[in-house]
């Protein structure tokens, strides 16, 4: 079964404990979670305005950024991301996790269109055979708990490695 994002899934518990601004997880009821995640990154609605609500993302927004059903096939599959990057002309990275504690995080797709360090970062996860995309608004908050030394580290998104950056 291909990995594909569908409708809303709540964030897993280990991610809920992070800063509430780290992710924007739009509460969509259709198959367009990828489109909502991309619009969340484009519009960057402040956290106090509840960007997780679909009311902030109109059909005009979907048309303006080539995120309509005519531009791509929903639900978006991971295998389609290289083609989608070209359609929407925006670099994308997608990360996931593979354990219940979230320590096993990894990239599942890094941009082929541009510099992955400057791409829009999305989180993809599955629960009960349902997949979902959310926008990672603050990448360093997403990976902060993986930094055991608590030193200032810089993460390379393509290979998901990190190195120390002197202060």
pLDDT tens track of the chain, all 167 residues?
A: 456 667 789 988 888 877 678 999 999 999 999 999 999 999 999 999 999 999 999 999 999 999 999 888 999 999 999 999 999 999 999 999 888 777 788 999 999 998 988 999 999 998 888 889 999 999 888 887 776 555 666 677 877 776 666 66
The string of DSSP letters for 69-137 reads TTTSPSSPBGGGHHHHHHHHT--EEEEEE-STTS--EEEEE--SSS-GGGSEEEEEEEETTEEEEEEES
């Amino acid at each position: 079964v291909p990995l594909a994002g569908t409708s809303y899934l709540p964030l897993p518990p280990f991610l809920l404990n992070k800063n509430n601004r780290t992710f924007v997880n739009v509460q969509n009821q259709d198959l367009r979670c990828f489109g909502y995640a991309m619009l969340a990154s484009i519009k960057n609605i402040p956290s106090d305005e509840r960007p997780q609500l679909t009311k902030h993302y109109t059909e005009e927004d979907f048309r303006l950024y080539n995120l309509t059903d005519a531009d791509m096939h929903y639900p978006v599959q991971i295998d389609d991301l290289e083609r989608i990057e070209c359609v929407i002309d925006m670099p994308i990275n997608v990360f996931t996790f593979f354990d219940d504690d979230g320590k096993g995080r990894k990239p599942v797709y890094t941009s082929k269109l541009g510099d992955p360090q400057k791409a829009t970062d999305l989180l993809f996860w599955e629960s009960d055979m349902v997949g979902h995309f959310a926008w990672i608004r603050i990448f360093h908050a997403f990976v902060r708990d993986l930094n055991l030394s608590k030193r200032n580290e810089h993460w390379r998104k393509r290979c998901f490695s990190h190195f120390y950056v002197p202060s």
